[in-house]
Amino acid sequence: MPKEPAADYVDGLVGVLAQTHTPAQLEAKALAYRLRRITHRLETELKRELVPHGIELWALELLACLLRAPGRRLTASRLATEMQLTSGAVSNRVAKLESKGLLVRDFAPHDRRSVTVTLTLEGASCAEAVFATKTETELRLFSPLSAEDRRRLNSSLRSVLLSLEADIP
């Protein structure tokens, strides 16, 4: 018979709610609490690991978008869409990374509102080093799960995301 897992912090929270919630509500709450706590822990660990690179999480996401893009360049509006940010937020972030030499902005001669953002060689090198660190951190944090458990969890979370993102253009 499989061994019961040890109780965690969330089990204590859910235990307090057991008298006022249905089993389905308790399961949903437990899942939401655990996802939030794992996300917080993952972000905290990643932030700590990124300090030596001088990169923050928001910069990591922007560099990732450019690293994946054809020619390692995207319009600022495409970056805003991919990162789910306002154009002003993207502009501020691009300016900060441009000042570090990690990317450059090019304005269209016919329309100064149209901006193309391109990853520099230094930016690509930095991004690759940072992603190696990020990958090691993710592997370490999810190491308690077997490969099969990771596949199953990924599949389940994908189903939730597909449902949530069905109405996003």
% of the chain residues with pLDDT over 70 = 96
Say what the alpha-carbon torsion angle 47, 48, 49, 52 is, to the nearest 10 degrees: 100
Q: Mind listing the pLDDT tens digit for each residue in 134-158?
A: 999 999 999 999 999 999 999 999 9
- Its sign, for the CA torsion 13, 143, 52, 119, is negative
Residues 50-79, mean pLDDT to the nearest whole number = 91
Please name the amino acid found at residue 6: A
Q: Mind listing the pLDDT tens digit for each residue in 75-119?
A: 999 999 999 899 899 999 999 999 999 999 998 677 667 889 999
pLDDT at residue 6, rounded to an integer:
86
pLDDT at residue 2, rounded to an integer:
64
pTM: 0.75
DSSP letters along 55-101, please?
A: --HHHHHHHHHHHHSGGGEEEHHHHHHHHT--HHHHHHHHHHHHHTT
